[in-house]
Copies of this chain bind each other. A is one copy, B any other.
Amino acid sequence: MDDKAQIQEAIKSQGEVVRKLKAEKASKDQIDEEVAKLLELKAKLGGDDGKHQFVLKTPKGTRDYNPKQMAIREKVFSTIIHCFKRHGAETIDTPVFELKETLTGKYGEDSKLIYDLKDQGGELLSLRYDLTVPFARYLAMNKITNIKRYHIAKVYRRDNPAMTRGRYREFYQCDFDIAGQYDAMIPDAECLKIVYEILRELDLGDFRIKVNDRRILDGMFAVCGVPDDKFRTICSTVDKLDKMPWEDVKKEMVNEKGLSEAAADQIGTYVSMQGGMDLAERLLQDPKMSQSKQACAGLTDIKLLFSYLQIFQITDKVVFDLSLARGLDYYTGVIYEALLTQAGVAPVVEAQNGAPGSTEESVSVGSVAGGGRYDGLVGMFDPKGRKVPCVGVSIGIERIFSIMEQKAEACAEKVRTTEVQVMVASAQKNLLEERLKLVTELWNAGIKAEVMYKKNPKLLSQLQHCEESGIPLVAILGEQELKDGVVKLRVVANREEVDISRGDLVEEIKRRTS
């Protein structure tokens, strides 16, 4: 069999794979992937007849942003950046890839999701997985011991994308971090204040911010009888409580991780607890919990944190929740996560019968921000292990984009994708040069203006363009206007027209569009 015949065979069998998946109503992602393979095969075959048979798609788990999506994205970024700046943050940027070894050993099990670059000679490189590790590398490399910075950039994870829920392989992170040796809980409280302000200003509906502390979790595990070497793995099981009912979490602890039933039940009692400063006080008196020095340190800090949150006037949305675990290895103190609780977005999970609720997935879908304290990470990069205490928060911007896009779809008002103030138009022929002269005057005066790239465009098509892209004014030129030294200024919304002397046009446009 020659190459061509082989490819034809492959196309045939791949075609059957696709048909079968469609018949089985497989997921769109899965079908798309197999269709892509089919198209690739067909492209190979079509290669010699001169036609270009590309697979026209973006890589799996990624997307283009069209102008409308970009307009929404810019609005969201602007709100967030404005908040970061209000709190005095600087910004930095780092390369999209790092030396592979910079990322090694920072993400535990998730390391398998890191994208590596092909070895083309030279250094081994990986795409950044988050912005926190590059930040720590930056601090250590430049010997910076205190900074308050934000960083908005894309990160990369070879995850199974669920794009409808705003989960991608390429996605934005939007991080605010405070590094430096400061008095306890003051920067931590400011991070929560920032989350509160951003979620309020983005107007995404009601939300709550869960708070816990790694030391409380570790102390809890210790007093519940979890062996030291099982803290991390049991912690990552607890982290699944936002996706799995308690019964399944317990099963995993007992059957898979070998924990005793008694220990698991004891953990179950604790992780169902939610409250505020009062809960921290109660647990400090708890006969079991108070035996752990670590837990007491964490609980004392939670109390202090809440006293600052009261001053910041944000305790209405913050809850101390012992089930919050968060996966990443590098957290050392306070951890937190913000969830949207509005109906239709993500229902609140109500604790029942003393065990955490079980509205599978709903809460994790609603997670829009998270972070915590990581006092050890910078030290991992310092040759002498010198530590720089850090606390930060990451805003889950993709999820927020998805919600804003849905909102924009639902809302009648059109999203403008340009800022053009005026279109220079003509109803008559042979006035291209005059239109170009006028638009030059406007550009030179700083007016945002457009002109059609045609010698003799129809007035209707010029007006239609204004309607479609929301341009509010049209400056119309004709033989008569040129003779009179005026321009006919038309308001697109109500079709009113008025002659403006050419010398006054710039001011008039500014006045009407300010």
B residues in contact with A116, CB < 8 Å:
117-118, 120
Contact A58 B182 (CB under 8 A): no
Residues of chain B with a CB closer than 8 A to A180's CB: 453
| Residue in B90, B99, B420 whose CB lies within 8 Å of A59 | B99
Partner of A443, one of B55, B62, B98, B193: B193
Q: For A420, give the chain B residue with the smallest CB separation.
A: B88
The residue of chain B having its C-beta at the shortest distance from the C-beta of A433 within the complex is B311
Contacts of A125 in B (CB 8 A): 59
Whether B55 contacts A101 by the Cβ 8 Å rule is yes
CB proximity to B under 8 Å, residues A35-61: 36, 40, 43, 51-60
Flag whether A274 is at the interface (Cβ < 8 A): no
Contacts A54-B102, A117-B117, A440-B313 hold; do A450 and B64 have CB atoms under 8 A apart? no
A137 close to chain B: CB less than 8 A: yes
Of B52, B67, B446, the contact of A86 (CB 8 Å cutoff) = B446
Please, how many angstroms separate the alpha-carbon atoms of A73 and B93 in the complex? Answer: 10
Q: Is the CB of B381 within 8 A of A86?
A: no
Q: Known: A57-B141, A443-B86. Contact between A182 and B380, CB under 8 A?
A: no
User: Which residue of B has the minimal Cβ distance to A65?
Assistant: B93
Complex partner residue of A53 from B94, B142, B383, CB under 8 angstroms: B383
Is A123 part of the binding interface, using a Cβ–Cβ cutoff of 8 Å? yes
**Cα of A436 to Cα of B312 in the assembled complex, Å:** 7
Q: Are A87 and B381 in contact (CB under 8 A)?
A: no
Q: Do A137 and B56 form a contact, CB below 8 Å, given A120-B115, A437-B311? A: yes
> How far apart are the CA atoms of A117 and B74 in the complex, in Å?
29
Name the one of B52, B149, B436, B453 contacting A67, with C-beta atoms under 8 angstroms: B149
**Given A86-B447, A86-B448, also A56-B95 (CB < 8 A):** no
Chain B contacts of A312 at CB under 8 A? 436, 440
Q: Does chain B have a CB within 8 A of A92?
A: yes
A70–B88 contact, CB under 8 A?
no
| A229 is an interface residue with CB less than 8 A from chain B | no
Given contacts A64-B92, A149-B67, contact A311 B436 (CB under 8 A): yes
- Does A264 lie at the interface of the complex (its beta carbon under 8 Å from any beta carbon of B)? no
Chain B residues contacting A65 (CB-CB under 8 Å) are 92-94
Return the CB mask of A405-449 against B: 1 if under 8 Å, else 0. Answer: 000000000000111100000000000110011001001101111
- Judged by a CB distance under 8 angstroms, whether A19 is at the interface is no
Query: Chain B residues near A60 (CB, 8 Å)?
Result: 122-123
Interface string of A133-165 (1 = CB under 8 A from B): 000011011100001010000101010000000
Contact: B52 with A88, CB < 8 Å? no
Contact with B along A168-179 (1 / 0, CB 8 A): 001000000010
Contacting residues, chain B, for A149 (C-beta < 8 A): 67
Say yes or no: is A91 at the interface (Cβ < 8 Å to chain B): yes
From B94, B178, B379, contact of A64 by CB (8 A): B94
A408 to chain B, nearest CB (A): 15
Return chain B residues, CB-CB under 8 Å to A93.
64-65, 70, 73
Interfacial chain B residues near A454, Cβ < 8 Å: 182-183, 186
Q: Is residue A256 within 8 Å, beta carbon to beta carbon, of the partner chain? A: no
Residue from B94, B156, B170, B453 within 8 A of A187 (CB atoms): B453
Q: Is A288 an interface residue (CB 8 A)?
A: no
Complex interface bits, A199-239 against B, C-beta within 8 A gives 1, otherwise 0? 00000000000000000000000000000000000000000
Give the residue among A93, A95, A96, A190 with the most B Cβ atoms within 10 A.
A95
Chain B neighbourhood of A117, CB < 8 A: 115-118, 127
Inter-chain contact A88/B381, CB cutoff 8 Å: no
| Chain B CB within 8 A of A129 CB | no
Given contacts A67-B90, A90-B70, A383-B52, whether A97 and B62 have CB atoms under 8 Å apart is: yes
Most buried by B among A55, A97, A149: A97
List 7 A-B residue pairs with CB atoms under 8 Å apart, sorted by A's residue number. Answer: A58-B94, A66-B142, A70-B90, A96-B96, A178-B453, A183-B455, A311-B437
Ordered nearest first, which 7 A-B pairs have the shortest CB separation?
A182-B453, A67-B90, A62-B95, A88-B450, A116-B118, A65-B93, A186-B453
Knowing that A52-B381, A56-B383, A187-B453 are A-B contacts, what are 10 other residue pairs whose CB atoms are under 8 Å apart, sorted by A's residue number? Answer: A55-B99, A62-B95, A64-B93, A64-B95, A66-B92, A87-B450, A88-B418, A115-B120, A116-B118, A182-B454
